[in-house]
Amino acid sequence: MGLVELSLVNPGMVLAKSVYSHSGVILLKDGRTLGEKDLLLLEAWGVTEVDIQGTDGTQGKEQVLSEILSEEELSALDAKLDKKFSKQQENEVIIELKKVIRKIKIEEIVERKKQKNG
């Protein structure tokens, strides 16, 4: 199990841990297969991340993203970033900047896909 940002959670994923409101009221029980209405409920309560079965704490987000994005999409994004920053590949600041830009671009692609499908 691993924490996954709510914006990356899709219907059909299963909760590894129950989700509680700020006041301790249970919103959804562990083992529940999430539906669209569940995601809207969690968003309305201000929940920002949930534990999802089949992910771990270090790879949770990347694992979920890989389920949403194809390997070709990720490879194309990485190739664009490598080309854009080809002259500064060894610079530590540039390496971190590429990571941040990659994360933002992936989230944009995911959001576009969600809007298109929903």
With a threshold of 0.75, does the pTM exceed it? no
At residue 86, the pLDDT reads: 81
List the chain pLDDT tens, one digit each, 118 residues.
Answer: 578 888 888 899 999 999 998 888 999 999 999 999 999 999 999 998 899 888 765 445 555 666 677 788 888 988 998 888 887 767 788 888 888 888 888 878 877 877 777 6
At residue 58, the pLDDT reads: 47
- Distance of alpha carbon 77 from alpha carbon 99, whole angstroms: 11
Would you identify the CATH topology of the domain 1-68? Answer: Molybdopterin biosynthesis moea protein, domain 2 (3.90.105)
The ranges assigned to domains in the chain are 1-68, 69-118
Tell me the H-state helices in 1-118.
36-44, 60-68, 71-84, 92-117
For 33-48, the pLDDT digits (tens) are 999 999 999 999 999 8
Nearest residue to 47 (alpha-carbon basis) of 1, 108, 4:
4
